[in-house]
Amino acid sequence: MAVPKCKVSKQRGNTRFAQWKLTAPNLAECPQCHTQILSHRVCPNCGYYNGRQVVVPKEKKED
């Protein structure tokens, strides 16, 4: 069974756990419609990826 050899102080443990944090996703601009998208993904707005259309986007319903 794993047992620690020495006591870990509160400061040392808290500083180790404080390094985990969220980062904002890196967004790129779509060259077709100029919206912000995740890089290396199909644009959900226009359906283009790498200069060609791969997905036909759905049209929004109007009530």
Q: Are 31 and 39 in contact (CB under 8 A)?
A: no
pLDDT the model gives residue 62: 73
DSSP H or E segment with residue 54: none
pLDDT tens digit sequence for 8-55: 999 999 999 998 888 899 999 999 999 999 999 999 999 999 989 999
- pTM value surpassing 0.95: no
Please tell me the distance from the alpha carbon of residue 25 to that of residue 38, in angstroms, as a whole number: 7
